[in-house]
Amino acid sequence: MALDIKICGLKTDGAMAAALAGGASHVGFIFFAKSPRYVEPAEAGRLREAARGKALAVAVTVDASDAFLDEIVAKMQPDMLQLHGSETSERVAEVKARYGLPVMKALPLSEAADLERIKPFIGIADRFLFDAKPPKGSELPGGNGVAFDWRILAGLDGGVDYMLSGGLNAANIGDALRLANPPGIDISSGVESAPGVKGPALIEQFFRAVRAARDNRAA
């Protein structure tokens, strides 16, 4: 089974080049002002050009207004929108209809009971991104480098398409793939040398770890 890999929070040409060289299927840009990964929509529009025809460019927003989404869509021309706030299923449907783009809804998980939260979005969101709940006091709904118990995903209906996210890195990706067998994975701070600073060598190392884990499973 193919594994989708999203490298999120890109801000530089070097990090974009490393993500594409590694074989990323998705590249993410953060439009949340408090994040150290924030990029201006026009700059994301410049950066995403390198990904055309190679990886899907994902705009990550948090409870964004129509006006901000209009600006992002016009200037960045994303292939997909990731809604990473407390958007309702009605809002997801509205955004999909307004832009005609696929929407990935991020949901924070910590225990099996949290999987109930996906129900209202089934048939509306095109994909889910399952992330850890932010640590107490964090100003960021994502990009916190915190993992959740991946074993809870074993209880998920096989038809649910999702990316596993939160605290992934080269050291734990093998366990994550083994325990959850996800259709996609997403990483941000695990390939950074400091908050918001992507390390091209760390990105390369992560792809190597993914390949090694998959080769081990196939052997």
Ligand X SMILES: O=C(O)c1ccccc1NCC(=O)[C@H](O)[C@H](O)COP(=O)(O)O
User: Minimum CB separation from ligand X for residue 112, in Å?
Assistant: 20
17 CB-near residues (< 8 Å, 6+ apart): 50, 200
Instruction: Give the whole-angstrom CA distance, residue 92 versus residue 101.
Output: 11
Is the Cβ of residue 201 or residue 218 nearer to ligand X in the bound state? 201
Nearest residue to ligand X, using CB?
Answer: 143
Q: Helices marked H in the chain — which ranges?
A: 13-22, 41-48, 66-76, 89-99, 173-180, 200-218
Is the Cβ of residue 8 or residue 73 nearer to ligand X in the bound state? 8
Q: Which residue, among 63, 51, 59, 60, has the nearest Cα to 25 in the 3D structure? A: 51
User: Minimum CB separation from ligand X for residue 215, in Å?
Assistant: 23
User: Minimum CB separation from ligand X for residue 129, in Å?
Assistant: 6
Q: State whether residue 104 is helix, strand or coil.
A: strand
Q: Is the torsion defined by CA of 105, 199, 172, 19 positive or negative?
A: positive
User: Minimum CB separation from ligand X for residue 130, in Å?
Assistant: 10
Is the Cβ of residue 79 or residue 158 nearer to ligand X in the bound state? 79
Q: Which residue, among 96, 98, 97, has the nearest Cα to 125 in the 3D structure? A: 96
CB 30 within 8 A of CB 58: no
User: Minimum CB separation from ligand X for residue 184, in Å?
Assistant: 11
Is the Cβ of residue 57 or residue 129 nearer to ligand X in the bound state? 129
Is the Cβ of residue 45 or residue 198 nearer to ligand X in the bound state? 198
What residue ranges bind ligand X (CB under 6 A)?
Answer: 8-9, 28, 30, 32, 35, 37, 60, 62, 84, 129, 131, 140-146, 165-168, 186-190
